[in-house]
Amino acid sequence: MTLVPFGMLSRLLVACLLALAVATINPAWAETPSKHYTAASADGVRLSIQEAGDPSGEPVVFVHGLLGSHLSWQAQIDSPALQRYRLITYDLRGHGQSGRPSASQMYTDGLRWADDLDAVIRTSKAHRPVLVGWSLGAAVISNYLAKYGDANVAGVVYVGGVIELDAAQIQPHPEVYRDMSSFDLRTRLDAERDFLALCFHRQPSDETVQRLLANAALASFDMQRVVHRMTVDAAKGLQAVRKPMLQIYGEQDALVHANASARRAQQLNPSIRTIFYSDTGHAPFLESPQAFNDDLVGFIANAHPANH
């Protein structure tokens, strides 16, 4: 009989209880998406993919941020204005229902995350999708663009985007990031809660907070310990883009330096359009969903002018 270490068992139990609590609080979150399947990345990691909206519409691929999952985009999946599009979400490696490799290089090598996104696009057969990346998701897209270019995409949107893992662009919260790597479960869960609180200038509903806490509890500990060392080739990625690009930041972002990040992106690609939302933090798509969804619809129309 193989014994499961107590620490691992505790983490699994907490994750299961949190996920169950979320589904109980708001049953709509537990609804099955219109389509669900998996893809294998180049290194074998299985990726959980979901689809909603109009299967014949222009595709939009959403890439969530650190400690999130496809559920991060619920305000977009539920938006009437976006139902005309094919809405594709997936869980990053080490997150949600996707695979959780244990080796450090599976997370520190940014090109592996790029391969994940490529696998999602290829497996879904999304033709010239618009890519939307939140926070770490923007770095994933930058790595994808650095490796694969922009030939297979129609446009790119960064939301609270991490351009580079550079001290000039990232707000300092050393205690939070230190404790997120703690081997003590209580310390780590408290740090994850504090990290999520920093995502918002305007706190979302209690139900949304519970969902996000469940997302965080499900995230791989091996990933959290090393993801800050993930390689990001924003210079090559952004300079390669000739398709429309938009970056959206909240003026009250507590996790990235919004102005410094936006300036750096514009240095790398002067054609990037930038929008700042006032009274909004690191998650404009959750804090200001109506404005964000309207801006996204306008961007998609610009990226696919023949269809609008």
pLDDT for residue 308: 60
Listed residue (98, 48, 55, 89) closest to 70, CA to CA: 89
Q: Total structural domains in the chain? A: 1
- Is 81 contained in some domain? yes
pLDDT for residue 61: 99
- Is 53 contained in some domain? yes
Q: Which residues are within 8 A (CB) of 106 and not within 5 positions of it... i.e. 6 or more apart? A: 43, 45, 93, 112
pLDDT for residue 33: 54
**Parent domain of 16:** 6-307
- Is 73 contained in some domain? yes
Q: Which residues are within 8 A (CB) of 125 and not within 5 positions of it... i.e. 6 or more apart? A: none
- Is 1 contained in some domain? no
Residue type, 155: G
pLDDT for residue 203: 87
**CATH code at position 260:** 3.40.50.1820
10-residue stretch averages of pLDDT, the chain, 308 residues long = 41 43 38 79 98 97 97 96 98 98 98 99 98 98 98 98 92 93 93 94 90 92 95 95 97 96 96 97 97 98 81
Q: Return the HEC string of the chain.
A: CCCCCHHHHHHHHHHHHHHHHHHHHCHHHHCCCCEEEEEECCCCCEEEEEEEECCCCCEEEEECCCCCCHHHHHHHHCCHHHCCCEEEEECCCCCCCCCCCCCCHHHHCHHHHHHHHHHHHHHHCCCCCEEEEECHHHHHHHHHHHHHCCCCCCEEEEECCCCCCCCCCECCCHHHHHHCCCCCHHHHHHHHHHHHHHCCCCCCCHHHHHHHHHHHHHCCHHHHHHHHHCCCCHHHHHHCCCCCEEEEEECCCCCECHHHHHHHHHHHCCCCEEEEECCCCCCHHHHCHHHHHHHHHHHHHHHCHHHC
- Is 88 contained in some domain? yes
pLDDT for residue 34: 74
pLDDT for residue 305: 79
Q: Is 93:106 a contact under the CB 8 Å cutoff?
A: yes
pLDDT for residue 240: 86
pLDDT for residue 1: 39
The strand pairing partners of 42, in sequence order, are none
- Is 118 contained in some domain? yes
